[in-house]
Structure 1
Amino acid sequence: MPWSWRLQRGDGGAATVPGLPEETFTTQADAESWLGLNWRELREAGVEQVTLLEDDVVVYPMSLLDPG
């Protein structure tokens, strides 16, 4: 089953990051590793929240904003 991230702006709309293609992963660990490597670039591009999907089923959402 493919794993992927849904990228969202602060208003909840879909976000895209120029130069960073959408990817699918074969495992949850691969998807989470990718996020660990790319979260700063995502945040700098205006992505405020990501949602991990397995196929099209939501696994969990995560904010990229600083807590506080």
Structure 2
Amino acid sequence: MTTSLADAVAEFNRYSQARIKLDDAELGSLRITGVFATDRNEVFVSAVIGAFPLEAEARLDGSYLLKSR
């Protein structure tokens, strides 16, 4: 089953105070498939930047900002 990146990020953000944010709302329409542990944001972010032309900016508060390369 595929889902939008926006929906996947929203699901991760339900379970973590360290948020994942999208720099551009258009990124949210990317489609993603996979099974991820919701307590492992860094694994999800790594998979996303490996699958799409994105980069992740790690923030001091533990959050990630996903943006186009």
- Which range, TM-score by smaller chain? 0.3 to 0.5
Higher relative contact order (CA 8 A, sep 6+): 1
Answer 1 or 2: which has greater helix percent. Answer: 2
Answer 1 or 2: which has greater strand percent. Answer: 1
Rg larger in structure: 1
